[in-house]
């Protein structure tokens, strides 16, 4: 089957856009979404400003594209690997452990993209804030689903406070990211792992059966 010149241009354009948005997400993780500019990206990637502008058209569209790229990276590194585990507390642990690896290994140079971007936009209503809030809610709902599954299968007691457990897990993760970035303290991640492991064992109806599965990456 032959490929038309138009198809080739479309694929090249898609690759260029993907390169731009990933670089934008990397920059934003360190300098914030407001630090993004057409000129900065053009210089970093050695392409024309008009070439960058043609893909977005405005700074807000560029910021939204960076958020979308960050969601894709997050799913790839944190969510998808955990889905191979049994639903419930084991998968909940793998989601948390994957998050720690994603932050610790600096998948984004500024640590967790969403931790930084949310702090930047949490009091600024608009489309970018809505996109960030939607991504955070998606993560929270995923954790809630795993806790509710554990309760439904008897892995956790039915009177377990799901919202409280999820709140604590997110707090442990985000605190580890913040301490690591601000103080260059890698021990924050091991402390978060210890805290999460202890909390999940405390939430399990049979801690001895769960314990062997709570291993770090």
User: What is the model's pTM?
Assistant: 0.91
User: In angstroms, how far is CA 55 from the centroid of its own chain?
Assistant: 24
Range of weakest confidence among 43-47, 66-70, 137-141, 178-182: 43-47
Whole-number Å distance between alpha carbons of 74 and 139: 10
Residue 79 has pLDDT above 90, yes or no: yes
User: What range does the domain containing 199 cover?
Assistant: 5-213
Q: Can you give the CATH number for the domain in which 111 is found?
A: 1.10.357.10
Q: Is the CA virtual torsion 187, 189, 194, 195 positive or negative?
A: positive
- Report the pLDDT value the prediction gives residue 81, as an integer from 0 to 100: 97
Structure-derived torsion over alpha carbons of residues 27, 31, 33, 35, reported in degrees to the nearest 10: -90
Whole-number Å distance between alpha carbons of 68 and 72: 6
Which residues in 121-132 are b (16+ Cβ under 10 Å) and which e?
A: beeeeeebbebb
- Report the pLDDT value the prediction gives residue 77, as an integer from 0 to 100: 98
- Report the pLDDT value the prediction gives residue 13, as an integer from 0 to 100: 60
As to burial, measured by CB atoms within 10 angstroms (0-12 exposed, 13-18 middle, 19+ buried), residue 179 is: middle
State how many domains the chain has. 1
Is the distance from CB of 189 to CB of 176 less than 8 angstroms?
yes
Give percent above pLDDT 90 in the chain: 80
pLDDT confidence bin for 55, thresholds 50/70/90: confident
**Tokens matching residue 46:** 């050695």
Is the distance from CB of 24 to CB of 60 less than 8 angstroms?
no
Residues 46-58 have a mean pLDDT of 85
194-217: per-residue pLDDT in tens?
999 999 999 999 999 999 999 988
């Amino acid at each position: 089957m032959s490929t038309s010149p138009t198809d080739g241009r479309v694929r090249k354009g898609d690759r260029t856009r993907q390169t731009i948005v990933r670089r934008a997400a990397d920059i934003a993780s360190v300098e914030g979404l407001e630090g993004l500019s057409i000129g900065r990206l053009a210089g970093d990637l050695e392409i024309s400003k008009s070439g960058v502008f043609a893909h977005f058209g405005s700074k807000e569209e560029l910021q939204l594209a960076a958020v979308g790229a960050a969601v894709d990276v997050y799913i790839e590194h944190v969510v998808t690997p955990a889905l191979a585990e049994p639903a419930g507390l084991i998968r909940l642990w793998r989601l948390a452990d994957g998050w720690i690896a994603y932050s610790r290994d600096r998948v984004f140079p500024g640590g967790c993209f969403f931790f930084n971007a949310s702090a930047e936009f949490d009091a600024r209503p608009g489309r970018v804030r809505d996109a960030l809030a939607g991504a955070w809610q998606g993560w929270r709902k995923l954790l809630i689903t795993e806790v509710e599954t554990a309760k439904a299968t008897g892995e956790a007691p039915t009177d377990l406070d799901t919202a409280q457990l999820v709140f604590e897990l997110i707090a442990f993760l985000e605190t580890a990211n913040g301490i690591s970035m601000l103080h260059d303290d890698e021990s924050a991640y091991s402390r978060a792992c210890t805290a999460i492991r202890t909390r999940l064992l405390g939430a399990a109806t049979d801690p001895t059966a769960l314990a062997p599965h709570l291993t770090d990456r």
